[in-house]
Amino acid sequence: MPTMASPKVLNYASHVDDNALRQAAETARLPFVHPHIALMPDAHAGKGSAVGTVIPTTDAVIPAAVGVDIGCGMIAVETRLGAADIDGMDLAALRRAIEAAIPLSPGNYNRGLDRFVFTRARIDSLAGQASDTGVDLSHSPKWREQLGSLGGGNHFIELCLDERDIVWLFLHSGSRGVGNKIAQKHIKIAQKLCRQWSIQLPNADLAYLAQGTPELAAYLRELKWAQRFAFENRAEMMDRFVEVFADWYASDAGDVDAVPLEVDRINCHHNYTVKETHGGKDVWLTRKGAIDAHKGVRGVIPGSMGTRSYVVRGKGNESGLCSAPHGAGRRFSRTEARKRFTADDLAARMAGIEYRHGEEWVDEIPDAYKDIDQVMADAVDLVDIEHTLRQILNVKGT
């Protein structure tokens, strides 16, 4: 059951650090927050405001609360295949094929735009939206090459099996470098304006853009584009994953007619702002590390590498601002995780899962994250679980 952690802060997390609670209390004191802030079960301290915070605002938007990875989220595809269909097949070969089709790690982009037939239409559509709405992309001349690239950190690609042993394709990424540039530009504008207006803030990363100003209008235009880019970036990578997976399966199975067909697809943001109605008012709802959980809305909540993930359906809980957690949430910083754990520790935790071994991924060890099962237990009032996924293959950038 949620508790009131401080005035206007409703906390769904049974385990949350003091810094996250302090950040939530600071954010809730802003005069335009309505009706309250909801701390999700995976909440932990972040930059300016806690990750796992849902922030409804009436007359302003806080760019740093949306964050620098605008539109980051998950996409999952259910296939017609079962575990028996791929039993004994070479998962290492599939991992290498994925790594060849999707650029990994920060700064790695596509070398060309014509390898896949579906890429060009996405690029043209995004370019048209930017032109039609006045979105300035001069800061990111390589944005086209970024489409269909994964990034690093906690972004990943996975092959999973659900509780029925059905095969799922699964990945996590956002708006890449172009979204970061858009975010950083508007965070700086918000901070400059708040200084000009002599507005006292608990910290500079709560600087906001006010309703009715050209600065907010410009941010919302570019935010909408970046959210669309993130959505299409995931769709682009998933289309590549589906194609690579189908080729791998057909080649190994020796039966082209048996190429798996996509049954279902879920693509959802967990770092974004959207107009919604809460507490009887129209608000800008910022989900910083949270997914849409309106009644009946399907979403995806990942664990960490080596732990379970979940396909869920929202319950429309108004107290929780129709939101749900976006993952396990970190227990330890990346620096602390590297002090505590080794590559051997990670290998032990990843037993039975195909992945690239090495020191590069130690800070992503499951032990650096909260217990995803506890997170989901805390989210019982927010979502229903439809499927539980366990990964058999994991791909990460560095």
Residue 327, annotated as binding a ligand: yes
Are 236 and 255 a contacting pair, CB within 8 Å? Answer: no
Residue 82, annotated as binding a ligand: no
Rg, C-alpha atoms of the chain: 21
CA–CA gap between residue 370 and residue 332 (Å, rounded): 9
Active site residue 294: no
Place of tokens 């590297």: 338
Residue 294, annotated as binding a ligand: no
Residue 271, annotated as binding a ligand: yes
Coarse DSSP helix, strand, coil percentages of the chain, rounded to the nearest 5 percent: 35, 25, 35
* Burial letters 42-79, b for 16+ CB under 10 A, else e: bbbbbebbbbbbbbbbbebbbbbbbbbbbbbbbbbbbb
Judged by phi (left if over 0) then psi (alpha if -120 to 50, else beta), residue 113 lies in: alpha
Residue 341, annotated as binding a ligand: no
SS3 sequence, 35-73?
Answer: CCEEEEEEEECCCCCCEEEEEEECCEECHHHHCCCCCCE
Q: 384: which strand partners? A: 313
Q: How many CB atoms lie within 10 A of CB 1?
A: 7
Spot the catalytic one: 186, 326, 357, 387.
Answer: 326
Q: Backbone phi, then psi, for 174, in 5-degree steps?
A: -140, -135
Q: Backbone phi, then psi, for 396, in 5-degree steps?
A: -135, 150
Residue 154, annotated as binding a ligand: yes
Residue 118, annotated as binding a ligand: no
Rounded to the nearest 10°, the torsion over CA 32, 38, 44, 46 is -20
Residue 36, annotated as binding a ligand: no
Residue 326, annotated as binding a ligand: yes
Residue 11, annotated as binding a ligand: no
The residue type of 275 is K
Single out the residue of 258, 383, 365 nearest to residue 325, CA to CA.
383
Judged by phi (left if over 0) then psi (alpha if -120 to 50, else beta), residue 305 lies in: beta
Residue 155, annotated as binding a ligand: yes
The residues near 130 (Cβ < 8 Å, ≥ 6 apart) are 137, 225
Residue 172, annotated as binding a ligand: yes
Residue 328, annotated as binding a ligand: yes
Residue 317, annotated as binding a ligand: no
Q: Could you tell me which residues are annotated as the binding site for Mn(2+)?
A: 69, 155, 172, 270
Which residues are designated catalytic? 326
Annotated binding residues for GMP, written as ranges, equal 154-158, 270-271, 302-305, 309, 326-329, 396
Binding-site residues? 69, 154-158, 172, 270-271, 302-305, 309, 326-329, 396
